[in-house]
Amino acid sequence: MNIVETKDAVRNRYGCFAERGGHRKACCGQSAPAQPTCGYAVGEGLYGDADLALVPNGALDLSRGCGNPTGFARLQNGEVVVDFGCGGGIDVILAAQRVGPDGRVIGLDFTPAMIERAGQNVARAGVAERVELRVEDLAKTQLPDASADVIISNCVINLCPDKDAVYQEAFRVLRPRGRLAISDIIFTEPICPEVEARFRSTAAGCMAWAMPEATYLDLVKRSGFVDLQVVTCHRLGDEEVEAMARCPGRDFSPPVDDHDLAAVKGRMASIKFTAVKPA
């Protein structure tokens, strides 16, 4: 698939998932009672009980992240936060709680059905007055230059075939000394080009456009960001890899060849990192 075809496939896939209302399990139906995330727990406690208590069930059911960027973004009262790929709104809601009534959170997603659901969840959470939700392509957000203090994203940029454009856009939107707090999926090493091509031919789950860690982080730096710090990197277990291959779920994603899946087991990870736009 080319860039346009890939984006259409992802938009349709997650749109159908949003219209169905999601379910509080990891992708592919793996049970995840404590964490409604695709990378289910990326071990333990992505979201604490205090955070989960602030989030309506509708947002939990639609969550397909691999981290909790609000947990390490060091959000401050009054800041402007943009969520690149807000989905059903879990991180928008938590960010809105952290920035307080003087702050503002903008949730972006290119799936209209997700934005509709996020709006419902934000209203239920009681933070609608400080949240704006927009249907936008992350590579061209239409946001003003230097308008945000923080950009967060949770297991979405891996789905983008044009990551360089996404990070250049993030750099443009952030104010000087603005910062990133990103959770995403990467390969821990390069994979077989033929396997990669087959993943991309069907936009397979969270792995079709995932990058090796070194390549990914170098791309972020080339976009202009400095002070890049890896917060944590969790190597995915075999069941987690299988979940990522079919995100947002078996009913919405094409099947993945077992041999191709075996080729990447032990080579995928969830990474959390921060970086800063220079002054």
Segment 215-219 mean pLDDT: 98
| Whether residue 183 has pLDDT greater than 80 | yes
Three-class HEC string of the chain: CCHHHHHHHHHHHHHHHHHHCCCCCCHHHCCCCCCCCCCHHHCCCCCCHHHHCCCCHHHHHHCCCCCCHHHCCCCCCCCEEEEECCCCCHHHHHHHHHHCCCCEEEEEECCHHHHHHHHHHHHHHCCHHHEEEEECECCECCCCCCCEEEEEEECCHHHCCCHHHHHHHHHHHEEEEEEEEEEEEEECCCCCHHHHHHHHHHCCCCCCCCCEHHHHHHHHHHCCCEEEEEEEEEECCHHHHHHHHCCCCCCCCCCCCHHHHHHHCCCEEEEEEEEECCC
- Global pTM reads 0.92
pLDDT tens digits for range 59-117: 988 888 888 999 999 999 999 999 999 999 999 999 999 999 999 999 999 999 999 99
Whichever domain contains 194, its CATH number is 3.40.50.150
| Whether residue 232 has pLDDT greater than 80 | yes
| Structural domain range at position 260 | 3-276
State how many domains the chain has.
Answer: 1
Q: How confident is the model at residue 41 (pLDDT cuts 50, 70, 90)?
A: very low
Q: How confident is the model at residue 209 (pLDDT cuts 50, 70, 90)?
A: very high
Q: How confident is the model at residue 278 (pLDDT cuts 50, 70, 90)?
A: very high
